[in-house]
């Protein structure tokens, strides 16, 4: 065999060594105590074996030993606390993508992965990313629960229907790494896999510009904004304007406030009556079943582009 059986996948991201160190610690603690306990069991079994048929145990043999009890309570407590805080620290880091992360969109469906870059470049069962740059995946499923997992990056996250989940990573070496669907999702589950291609930033730029139609995700979203007639309300004052909406705090008719993030925009489009914007009548029709997950992401990219770039087209 060219490679010995690989016990661990290569460490391809900034998180990988951190996750591995925690894993080594958990393994070391478990192995140490399992060995200790097994050895003691054997030792005591031999030492205190019954030596003759009518040997009776001595009276008062069970006496308590306070120092010993404190010791075997405190040591495990400290070890478990270390595991908890160490794990929680990694979890929190893992849950918060850095602000400057490049966003890429992922739609899982039975049985393939659809990926789209903000400039409109699409791929299937492949993900091209630059090395050394944080990448944030915004993911959803068109049918059942999937899970986007990159073992070399030590990252996995469920991909759920009707909801956005995110995961992020920063690749530390160029190369080709496997990704998998990690949640059994039917007959073709084992086919739901592909490769992450980690490239030098200049190669990535070249790749990203190659073979795109010229329409970014936001452009495609703008087209849908016309095609689905959003403009007839949102471009006329019958509905709220989209300029500056993304990331804004919106007041609802019940006087509660929400931040206009991806999840809120998605819900506003699919279930308009769930959260009504204060001061507007609930006249927006639902677009559930008419707009695909890919199109939803494009519409959201369009709304985002109006907020972040002050690009003022279509809406007053
Ligand atoms: C018939 C008019 C109408 C159409 C068509 C319409 N909307 Fe709306 N939309 C509204 C109104 C009115 C509101 C505010 C009341 C509410 O929240 O339902 C709204 C709210 C929203 C919000 C929340 C905005 C905010 O400021 O919080 C989003 C996002 C949205 N619409 C997206 C869309 C998209 C995308 C389309 C096209 C696919 C669309 N709408 C089509 C009337 C419409
Ligand atoms: Cu799957």
Query: What separation in Å is there between the alpha carbon of 240 and the centre of ligand 1?
Result: 7
Q: Is 38 inside any structural domain?
A: no
Which residue, of 184, 209, 234, is where some domain finishes?
209
Closest CA to 136 of 160, 109, 164: 164
Look up the CATH number of the domain holding residue 246.
1.10.760.10
Q: Is 12 inside any structural domain?
A: no
Query: What separation in Å is there between the alpha carbon of 113 and the centre of ligand 2?
Result: 8
Closest CA to 109 of 263, 255, 293: 293
What pLDDT tens digit does each residue of the chain (316 aa) get? 445 667 788 999 999 999 999 999 999 999 999 999 999 999 999 998 888 888 877 777 777 889 989 999 999 999 999 999 999 999 999 889 998 999 999 999 988 999 999 888 888 899 999 999 999 999 999 999 999 999 999 999 999 998 999 999 999 999 999 999 999 999 889 989 999 999 999 999 888 887 666 678 888 888 899 888 888 888 888 888 888 888 888 889 888 989 888 889 999 999 988 889 988 888 898 888 888 888 999 999 899 888 743 333 433 3
| Shared domain check, 157 and 242 | no
| Shared domain check, 223 and 204 | no
| Domain carrying residue 252 | 217-308
| Shared domain check, 200 and 108 | yes
| Shared domain check, 121 and 173 | yes
Q: Where are the alpha helices (DSSP H) in 149-216?
A: 201-209
| Shared domain check, 246 and 191 | no
Q: Is 3 inside any structural domain?
A: no
Q: Is 184 inside any structural domain?
A: yes
Contact 218, 302 (CB under 8 A): yes
Pocket of ligand 1 from Cβ distances under 6 Å: 228-230, 232-234, 238-240, 245, 250, 260, 265, 268-269, 272, 276-277, 280-284, 287, 299
Which residue, of 156, 191, 209, is where some domain finishes?
209
* CA 224-229-231 angle, 5° bins: 90
Q: Is 120 inside any structural domain?
A: yes
Look up the CATH number of the domain holding residue 131.
2.60.40.420
| Shared domain check, 192 and 120 | yes
Q: How far is CA 11 from CA 106, 154, 174, 178, in A?
A: 23, 8, 11, 12
Q: Is 16 inside any structural domain?
A: no
| Shared domain check, 205 and 158 | yes
Q: How many domains does the chain have?
A: 2
């Amino acid at each position: 065999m060219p490679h010995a059986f690989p016990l661990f996948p290569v460490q391809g991201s900034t998180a990988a060594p951190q996750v591995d160190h925690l894993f080594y610690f958990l393994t070391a603690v478990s192995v140490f105590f399992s060995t200790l306990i097994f050895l003691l069991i054997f030792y005591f079994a031999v030492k205190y074996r019954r030596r003759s048929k009518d040997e009776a145990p001595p009276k008062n043999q069970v006496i308590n030993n306070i120092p010993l009890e404190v010791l075997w309570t405190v040591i495990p407590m400290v070890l478990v606390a270390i595991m908890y805080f160490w794990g929680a620290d990694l979890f929190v880091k893992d849950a918060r993508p850095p602000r400057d992360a490049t966003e890429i969109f992922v739609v899982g469906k039975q049985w393939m992965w659809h990926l789209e870059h903000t400039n409109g470049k699409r791929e299937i069962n492949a993900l091209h990313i630059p090395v050394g740059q944080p990448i944030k995946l915004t993911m959803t499923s068109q049918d059942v629960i999937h899970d986007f997992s990159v073992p070399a990056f030590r990252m996995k996250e469920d991909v759920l229907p009707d909801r956005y989940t995110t995961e992020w990573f920063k690749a530390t070496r160029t190369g080709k790494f496997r990704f998998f669907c990690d949640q059994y999702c039917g007959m073709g589950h084992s086919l739901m896999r592909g490769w992450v291609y980690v490239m030098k930033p200049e190669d990535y730029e070249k790749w990203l510009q190659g073979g795109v139609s010229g329409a970014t995700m936001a452009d495609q979203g703008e087209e849908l904004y016309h095609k689905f007639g959003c403009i007839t309300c949102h471009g006329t004052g019958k509905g709220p304007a989209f300029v500056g909406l993304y990331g804004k705090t919106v007041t609802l008719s019940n006087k509660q406030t929400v931040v206009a993030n991806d999840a809120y925009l998605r819900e506003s489009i699919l279930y308009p009556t769930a959260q009504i914007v204060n001061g507007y009548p609930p006249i927006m029709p639902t677009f559930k079943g008419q707009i695909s997950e890919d199109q939803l992401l494009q519409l959201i990219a369009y709304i985002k582009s109006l907020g972040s770039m002050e690009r003022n087209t279509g809406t007053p």
